[in-house]
Amino acid sequence: MNALLEQSIHGLHASYLDGSRRPTDTLDECLAQIERTEALGAFVRLDQAGARRDAEAADERSKRGALRSPLDGVPIALKDNIITKGLETNAGSKILEGFVPPYDATLVTRLREAGAVIVGKTNLDEFAMGSSTEHSAYGATKNPWDPSRVPGGSSGGSAVAVAARQVYGSFGTDTGGSIRQPASLTGVYGLKPTYGRISRYGLVAYASSLDQAGPFARRLDDLAVLYLAVAGFDPKDATSHPEAVPDPNACTASGMAGLKVGLPSEYLTEGLDPEVESAVRLAAKWLEDAGAKIVPISLPHTRYALSTYYLIATAEASSNLARYDGLRYGPRAKSTDLARTIVESRHQGFGAEVKRRILLGTFVLSAGYYEAYYARAQKVRTLIRRDFEAAFQDVDLMLTPTSPVPAFELGARLSDPLAMYLADVCTLPVSLSGLPALSAPVGLSSAGLPLGAQLIAPWWQETRLFEAALVFEARTDLAQRAPPAAYAADSS
């Protein structure tokens, strides 16, 4: 594997400025690495022509000393539920097969303005509904640390593209943990910002009150570059917030001195893999060594987060996915009867997991059940948020596991939906509360699989996440250590 693929975004930028490297050279190396490791299934679609055009334009800017940003000429990838003008977007579903959007998502517009080279679209669980990237109409994605295991989901393709050195950064979406959990399972950094921090305009909707986009990277300074390129108010998104965006690059590990870090008892309980617990407690000691005070806390309504999430998220999914009827998007079933056309198009176009969630969401919204299920779930959601509000009166940050277990084997949970849903049990409360959270690699299991810790900050305080994660980055180089499959010519 070419050493260039281990370069940081800032390192690439410096090499472009001094003329020792051209963006087109970097693109060539990334495309070669994608081909070498294509058996991992990270990408569903490459845009080689568009990437080449953008890299050549970056070449010209670098010659003139007119690079737009540190991202100018840097190859990145996008989860395939992020709308891209002129490039097919199907959210891992056959029902959107052939759909070519006429516009870019706001975050894509901002990346293009920064000069980023978008190499292609990455695999995901269909409509972002899953925790393993096995529920895609285009096949499963494999974990580069062990290709017999899952990479997490639903943004598994974006996480693997970064971990396997195929690109220097990527973007995914997080509804209940879909950035943080695959980041943990593949040994990279993943950030879910505060809800409203990054525009949702141009994201294929799953659950609108929960969906949020965010970046993956192998280094925290790279994560900061990606985050800053897209964060900020967008008038096209009614849920976007005008709150100022502080620069995480100003953060230092010394910023932890005197801060209180809460360790919620509800996250360190039965069902947690012992190696995960040990890794999180080690991470707590690192923070303590950096000057933080570790404080035991309680978030009592955490126990209801799983059921609350799967009532609210499926209800919103049922509403959002009603637009896919075979008449405006994707393939249409052949029938002379309108109702039959819609039914058959949905039957053929949606996968089993999407159908399951639509049925559940339709049920909880139906007459006679709305108050008993959906309305009550919204009340419990408020209680979960209030737990965090109360706790943040006493602590500055929280530390928890990201995933209760390391990466599990492909196919191990496909026949047991509840077991699959439990993969996100540590990340769901944050999503329901709209908080910012970051998953950072903190160790390896005895089987050589990455273990991640989740940092949670108060609303709009993403910089605190970076300050704490810098402590971890100083203690372990795991995210900068290439997994075995990154070197493989064939990872099947």
CA 211, chain centre distance (Å):
10
**What are the residues facing 121 on neighbouring strands?**
45, 78
Cis peptide before 184 (omega within 30 of 0): no
Looking at the DSSP bridge assignments, the partners of residue 198 are: 231
The Cα–Cα gap between 419 and 22 comes to 47
Coil, helix or strand at residue 75: strand
Of 206, 282, 225, nearest to 70 by C-alpha is 225
The alpha helices in 79-219, defined as continuous H runs, are 106-114, 156-163, 180-186
The answer to whether the CB of 272 falls within 8 A of the CB of 423 is no
Active-site option among 8, 62, 79, 184: 79
The one-letter amino acid code at 53 reads R
If you write DSSP's letter for every residue of 356-377 in order, what string do you get?
A: HHHHHHHHHHSTTTTIIIIIHH
| Residue 79 annotated among the catalytic residues of the structure | yes
106 is written with which tokens?
């706001």
Query: Concatenated DSSP letters for 421-483?
Result: HGGGTTTHHHHHHT--EEEEEEEE-TTS-EEEEEEE-STT-HHHHHHHHHHHHHH--GGGSPP
Contacts of 145 by beta carbon, 8 Å cutoff, 6+ apart: 163, 186, 187, 407, 448, 449, 450, 483, 484, 485
Tokens 């933080």 belong to which residue?
Answer: 292
With b meaning 16 or more CB within 10 Å and e meaning fewer, what string describes 434-448?
bbbbbbbbbbbbeee
Spatial CA neighbour of 70 closest among 123, 107, 115: 115
Of 154, 199, 403, 445, which residue is the catalytic one? Answer: 154
Centroid of chain to Cα 240 = 19
In the annotation, is 335 catalytic?
A: no
Q: What tokens does 372 get? A: 């008993």
CB burial string 250-278: b at 16+ within 10 A, e below: ebebebbeebebbbbebbbeeebeebbbe
Structure tokens at 68: 């737009």
Nearest to 487 by CA among 109, 24, 9, 6: 6
Catalytic residue among 155, 178, 345, 445: 178
Q: Under a CB-based contact definition with an 8 Å cutoff, are residues 458 and 392 in contact? A: yes
The answer to whether the CB of 68 falls within 8 A of the CB of 113 is yes
Q: Which residues carry out catalysis?
A: 79, 154, 178
